[in-house]
Amino acid sequence: MKTNIGNGDRIARVIIGAAIGVAGIYYQSWWGLLGLIPIATAASGMCLFYSLFGVNTCKVKEEKK
């Protein structure tokens, strides 16, 4: 799989995911587990929805074969 998430996007996803998780803990709700989704996509560097819509925020140039 190709990386399609840039560094700024990764940082934003970790912050948003952590905020959702903290809100879930604060409100004692299972909805806080949804915060794992942006954290997992930031860790993997791959977003399925970005692939479907052709979006790429990663600035690394790919090597030509």
Q: What one-character-per-residue DSSP string does 44-61 give?
A: HT--HHHHHHT-----PP
Task: Write the CA distances from 10 to 19, 41, 52, 56, 63, integer angstroms.
Answer: 14, 8, 18, 12, 22
Q: Name which residue leads in pLDDT, 55 or 17.
A: 17
Q: Please report the pLDDT score of residue 61 as a whole number.
A: 64
Residue positions counted in the chain: 65
pLDDT tens, residue by residue, 43-57: 999 999 998 998 899
pLDDT-based confidence at 42, cuts 50/70/90?
very high
